[in-house]
Amino acid sequence: MKILVLGSGGREHALVWRLAQGGHEVIAAPGNPGMEREARCVPVALTDHQGITDLARAERVDLVVVGPEAPLVAGLADDLRANNLVVFGPGAAGAQLEGSKAFCKQFFARHGIPTARFFTVTTVAEADAAIDQLAATSAGVVVKADGLAAGKGVVVAENVAEAKAAAREMLEAKRFGAAGATVVIEERIIGREVSVFAITDGNTLEVLPATEDHKTIFDGDTGPNTGGMGTVSPAWTSADVVDRITKEILQPTLRGLRADGIDYRGVLFAGVMVDAGGAPYLLEYNVRFGDPETQPLMARMMGDFGKVLAGCARGHLPHGVLAWDPRVAVCVVVAAAGYPGTVRTGDPITNIPDERDGVVVFHAGTAKKDGHLVSAGGRVLGVTALGVSVQQARERAYAVVDEIDLAGKQVRRDIGARR
């Protein structure tokens, strides 16, 4: 097949790499320098729906795979489908699950999906009342901007004052602009997190191996949240926990989407908190693959992924095509100086070793300047290694991380250490 992958991050590089390995011809837009080995990169912006449509039609691609959330929320998949293209990724109606946390929470409530108790507010007075009420009856309060905020719109508050200040920042100071005009206030769930991905054609689901992210910038889960500093697959979760997530969260979601008249063809990425008793609570949905969860998933995946994605896009997900390498995969993110605050870019990146047995370096925030590779974003590379144990995968990943030269590089040293 000829497949167009949209996006330019580490997630998309991993998707491109996997699809190319499966023998497909891959085009990436806009792509990144790391993808050039496996794909032809075409510099069209994802906000340019007409340009993407023209590219897909001119190239007569069999399938378009949309990587990031923003174009899905903006209706890119709808526009492509309106031009008779086969698209993996939900339309704008389904993408609201990620585009609006208020919509998402109301969806969970409507369809009986376990989630933290919550209030949706639009004024400071409502926010204060909701915070007081939840603080009196729960382990803590979490304040969330409704709209897309690149992983920076959530405050897990230490106390009532911090929660109220966060709500004010969003509602009054307009810290997130329109994305913070509505705010979700919810109870804090104490537990351990896991990312669970299901791909769906709108009728059936295929659940992929659970994956664990490391969200904060510093070791020991300290410091501010990032887009994700490293991942391990499979995650810590037992088969029982994954089974509960499938039955209590993913399957009711698919039924709910159908009941609401939403034709959903793409990824359901459940961000789940599992409490000490093994009960899962859905924190949020994302409507696309995770970054950096996709990197270890693609490292472990076997079977014709292109066939599965195209089947989903056409409404007939073929089951039994995918298999999984039993080894553990660890992805360690190499981030730029300053991340997740103001990022320094333009630093030379050298000494990236060639792909070697079981270790692959996915590019994210990289660019070519005068023929040389330089940093161009917060998360620069994702070094992804397979191992017979998590220890071996960690050792292999960190050996390559340490070979790579990037001034001021930031790396967490404890990816996969908590086992």
| Distance in Å from the first CA to the final CA of the chain | 40
Q: Which does 273 bind (CB under 5 to 8 A by kind): ligand ADP, Mg ion, none?
A: ligand ADP
For ligand ADP, the closer of residues 62 and 221 by Cβ is: 221
Choose the binding region for Mg ion from 237-245, 266-274, 308-316, 355-363 (rule: CB under 5 A).
Answer: 266-274
Label residue 371 exposed, middle or buried (CB < 10 Å: 0-12, 13-18, 19+). exposed
Residue type at 27 in one-letter notation: I
Contacts of 371 (CB under 8 A, 6+ apart): none
For ligand ADP, the closer of residues 17 and 339 by Cβ is: 339
For ligand ADP, the closer of residues 17 and 281 by Cβ is: 281
* Structural tokens at position 186: 């919810």
Q: Where are the extended beta strands (E) located within 47-191?
A: 63-66, 87-88, 118-121, 141-145, 154-156, 183-187
Report the nearest approach of ligand ADP to the CB of residue 270 (Å). Answer: 10
Q: Which does 347 bind (CB under 5 to 8 A by kind): Mg ion, ligand ADP, none?
A: none
Q: Which does 116 bind (CB under 5 to 8 A by kind): ligand ADP, Mg ion, none?
A: ligand ADP
Choose the binding region for Mg ion from 4-12, 42-50, 267-275, 322-330 (rule: CB under 5 A).
Answer: 267-275
Decide if residue 216 touches Mg ion (CB under 5 A): no
Report the nearest approach of Mg ion to the CB of residue 145 (Å). Answer: 12
- Omega cis (within 30) before 340: yes
Tell which residue, 305, 308, 298, 314, has the closest CA to residue 265.
314
For Mg ion, the closer of residues 269 and 305 by Cβ is: 269
Q: Which does 12 bind (CB under 5 to 8 A by kind): ligand ADP, Mg ion, none?
A: none
What is the rounded CA–CA span in Å between residue 324 and residue 301? 5
Report the nearest approach of ligand ADP to the CB of residue 145 (Å). Answer: 8
For ligand ADP, the closer of residues 38 and 213 by Cβ is: 213
Report the nearest approach of ligand ADP to the CB of residue 166 (Å). Answer: 12
Decide if residue 271 touches Mg ion (CB under 5 A): yes
For ligand ADP, the closer of residues 248 and 347 by Cβ is: 248
Q: Which does 291 bind (CB under 5 to 8 A by kind): Mg ion, ligand ADP, none?
A: none
* Interface residue list for ligand ADP (CB under 6 A): 116, 142, 144, 151, 153-154, 156, 186, 188-189, 193, 215, 271, 273, 283-284
What is the rounded CA–CA span in Å between residue 143 and residue 388? 40
Report the nearest approach of Mg ion to the CB of residue 287 (Å). Answer: 12
Report the nearest approach of ligand ADP to the CB of residue 101 (Å). Answer: 7
Quickly tell me which residue has 């998590």 as its tokens.
390
Residue 161 half-sphere exposure, CB side, CA atoms within 13 Å?
0
Q: What is the DSSP string of 275-305?
A: -TTS-EEEEEEESS--TTTHHHHHHHEES-H
Residue 85 half-sphere exposure, CB side, CA atoms within 13 Å?
30
Decide if residue 149 touches Mg ion (CB under 5 A): no
Report the nearest approach of Mg ion to the CB of residue 231 (Å). Answer: 13
Choose the binding region for Mg ion from 20-28, 229-237, 265-273, 274-282 (rule: CB under 5 A).
Answer: 265-273
Is 10:292 a contact under the CB 8 Å cutoff?
A: yes
For ligand ADP, the closer of residues 274 and 383 by Cβ is: 274
What is the rounded CA–CA span in Å between residue 260 and residue 109? 13
Is 380:374 a contact under the CB 8 Å cutoff?
A: no
For ligand ADP, the closer of residues 201 and 213 by Cβ is: 213
For ligand ADP, the closer of residues 164 and 409 by Cβ is: 164
* Structural tokens at position 312: 């989903």
Is 362:34 a contact under the CB 8 Å cutoff?
A: yes
Residue ranges in contact with Mg ion by CB under 5 A: 271
